[in-house]
């Protein structure tokens, strides 16, 4: 029974990832490898003298910042690890989850999901501090000075999208439940940003499911119609 469940849940995922990694090694996941190296570089720099200030100015996003500053820094904030967590955890998560997502979803989709879900969490924090703690999803003004979640929101979002793509429903549900439990056990901004990232990931996955093949079908139809019209004029 366990073996049957494992095959049904992860068989497609394992087969896809293993075949690509077996044949191409690290060349199969250049995005994940680059992201991991960037996180390592930011981690080293922010622990050097005056390095934390440099990292803050380049890639740290806070809800209290001007919006244009947050938007400029958000792409880099994906690779700035939290100061209070071991960097090896962020490195392992990004290499594993980004790598799987890069193979299963494709490089462009992986970047889109990672950026969009991170940005959604950042904007949520900004709105929450603006409306204040008297509202259900509001935060005190002090939250505006906290750093955003770094790569963790993107990791959670990509895990959900990969689970959706490979139909690993139990795994995807487990990720969601763990994030909900985190917020219930330790209510904080990072946990809420993770939930916002999950909601955004689900919306993106559902949109891709519904409309993913719509425009290719339209373009194919237009191409076929033009070809047919050209053949008729030639005849």
Please state the domain extents for the chain: 2-234
- Residue 171 host element (H or E): helix 169-185
Name the residue with tokens 């100061």. 83
pLDDT for the residue 134:
82
pLDDT for the residue 234:
52
* Cα–Cα dist 180/190, whole Å: 12
pLDDT for the residue 228:
47
pLDDT for the residue 130:
86
* Cα–Cα dist 43/79, whole Å: 9
pLDDT for the residue 212:
67
pLDDT for the residue 233:
52
Question: DSSP letter string over 11-52?
Answer: HHHHHHHHHHHHHHGGGG-HHHHHHHHHHHHHHHHHTSTTHH
pLDDT for the residue 173:
95
Residue 108, CA distances (Å) to 25, 31, 85, 112, 214 in order: 20, 10, 29, 6, 18
- Over the chain (235 residues), the average pLDDT of each successive run of 10 is 81 85 84 94 91 90 90 91 83 94 93 94 90 83 84 95 93 95 89 94 90 56 50 51
pLDDT for the residue 144:
85
Q: Which long-range contacts (CB under 8 A, 24 or more apart) does 171-176 make?
A: 171/9, 171/10
106 and 150 Cβ atoms separated by less than 8 Å: no
pLDDT for the residue 154:
95
pTM: 0.86
């Amino acid at each position: 029974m366990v073996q049957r469940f494992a095959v049904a849940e992860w068989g497609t995922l394992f087969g896809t990832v293993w075949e690509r990694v077996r044949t191409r090694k690290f060349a199969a996941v250049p995005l994940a490898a680059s992201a991991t190296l960037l996180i390592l570089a930011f981690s080293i720099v922010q622990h050097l003298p005056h390095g934390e200030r440099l990292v803050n100015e380049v890639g740290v996003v806070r809800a209290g910042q001007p919006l244009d500053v947050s938007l400029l820094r958000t792409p880099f904030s994906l690779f700035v690890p939290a100061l209070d967590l071991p960097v090896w955890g962020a490195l392992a998560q990004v290499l594993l989850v980004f790598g799987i997502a890069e193979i299963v979803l494709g490089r462009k989709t992986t970047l889109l999901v990672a950026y969009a879900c991170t940005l959604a969490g950042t904007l949520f924090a900004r709105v929450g501090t603006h409306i204040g703690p008297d509202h259900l999803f509001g935060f005190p003004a002090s939250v505006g000075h906290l750093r955003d979640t770094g790569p963790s929101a993107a990791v959670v979002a990509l895990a959900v999208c990969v689970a959706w793509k490979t139909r690993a429903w139990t795994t995807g549900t487990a990720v969601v439940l763990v994030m909900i439990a985190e917020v219930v056990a330790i209510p904080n901004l990072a946990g809420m940003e993770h939930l916002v990232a999950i909601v955004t990931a689900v919306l993106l996955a559902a949109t891709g499911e519904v409309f993913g093949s719509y425009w290719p079908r339209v373009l194919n139809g237009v191409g076929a119609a033009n070809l047919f019209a050209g053949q008729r004029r030639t005849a």
